[in-house]
Amino acid sequence: MSTSERTHTALAVVLACASASCLPRGDCLRNSDCSSTLTCSGGKCVVQSQAESDDADEDATVEEASDGEAAVELDGTQPNEPTEASDAFEASSVAALDGGGLE
Amino acid sequence: MKVAHLRFPSIRARLIVALAPLTVSIFASRAAPAQQYLLGASGEIGSGIEGGGSGQTMMELAPVRLRIAADLRVDEFPADIYAVGMLIDLVPRSAFGFDLRYARRLGSKFELNAGGIAYIAPQSLFGPSAGFKYRMALSPSAELTVGPEANVFVIGGDLPSGTILWQAFVQAGIHVDL
């Protein structure tokens, strides 16, 4: 293959790649690619507040991941999870009510 | 017999005498009446690819861009060129900006340039820019220019947060000495 043929082939590949879908595309690269009420975030046009909350979620996820053990220790008791203390309190309350009702 | 005492000038005086011709020559050369400012104008059109994004990188075809520029050089330093350009993105979207560049001629056919580029509409983008040109003479005062250019936008209201935008252009045009 001569030099000019190789150049032609390389140019053809570059042009075909640039014009076809082999470029990894998103909806947007700039904020102005989106309509005025939207901004570009992660290659997609999103509502501005959503973009901010996405950022906040990402930050929170990172924080949870880094403080995973601490989060478990602090949040070990789930709000709806029954515990021994609450069971005992519930049983005594029921007994008192039952007792009062009998008398 | 008396020995004549020769009085040597002070070090300061000797320094002044030594440096005077150099100083005069520097300022004289800058203010020489033969010095002329040479103006040039150019028009170029180009396109390429651009990309950016956080996390996954995205690429797409860069806008088709028209650049109309004026440049200035001094006849005593013809290799040093200062240029200002107006940028107009034509398709697929319209945008307007400008650039400032210092260009250095490398021989008669090549040129390296570097500077800053800014878009001001529809939103702002700012960053550094660098390029290379091959200049082919069409006539004593006109040249065909072809070459690549790279731009990186690092700040601006048009940038999504936490990202940069890069462009790789190939452009062609004509430069004329005015």
The DSSP result for B45-110, as a single string, is EEEEEEEE-SSS-EEEEPPEEEEEEEEEEETTEEEEEEEEEEEEEEESS-EEEEEEEEEEEETTTE
Chain B hits for A48, CB-CB cut-off 8 Å, are none
Tell me, yes or no, whether B13 lies in a domain: no
Tell me, yes or no, whether B69 lies in a domain: yes
**Which CATH number is B103's domain given?**
2.40.160.20
In this prediction, residues B148-171 reach a mean pLDDT of 94
Tell me, yes or no, whether B92 lies in a domain: yes
What pLDDT does A43 receive? 84
Tell me, yes or no, whether B30 lies in a domain: no
What pLDDT does A2 receive? 74
Tell me, yes or no, whether B150 lies in a domain: yes
User: Has residue A18 got a pLDDT over 50?
Assistant: yes
Chain B hits for A35, CB-CB cut-off 8 Å, are none
* ipTM of predicted complex: 0.70
A43 touches chain B (CB under 8 A): yes
What pLDDT does B22 receive? 52
Tell me, yes or no, whether B48 lies in a domain: yes
Closest chain B residue by Cα to residue A27: B58
Tell me, yes or no, whether B62 lies in a domain: yes
Point out the residue among B55, B58, B123 whose CB comes nearest to the CB of A29: B58
Point out the residue among A19, A25, A32 whose CB comes nearest to the CB of B158: A32
Tell me, yes or no, whether B29 lies in a domain: no
What Cα–Cα distance (Å) separates residue B38 from each residue in A80, B41, B63, B96? 82, 10, 32, 27
Residue-number span of the structural domain to which B103 is assigned? 37-177
Domain count, chain B: 1
Chain A hits for B160, CB-CB cut-off 8 Å, are 28-31, 39-42
pLDDT-derived band of residue B144, with 50, 70 and 90 as boundaries? very high
> Which pTM was predicted?
0.64
User: Has residue B20 got a pLDDT over 50?
Assistant: yes
Q: Which of A47-56, B156-165, B167-176 has the lowest mean pLDDT?
A: A47-56
Chain A hits for B158, CB-CB cut-off 8 Å, are 30-32
B123 to A29: CB separation less than 8 angstroms, yes or no: no
| pLDDT tens for each residue of B28-65 | 555 555 789 999 999 999 999 999 866 667 888 999 99
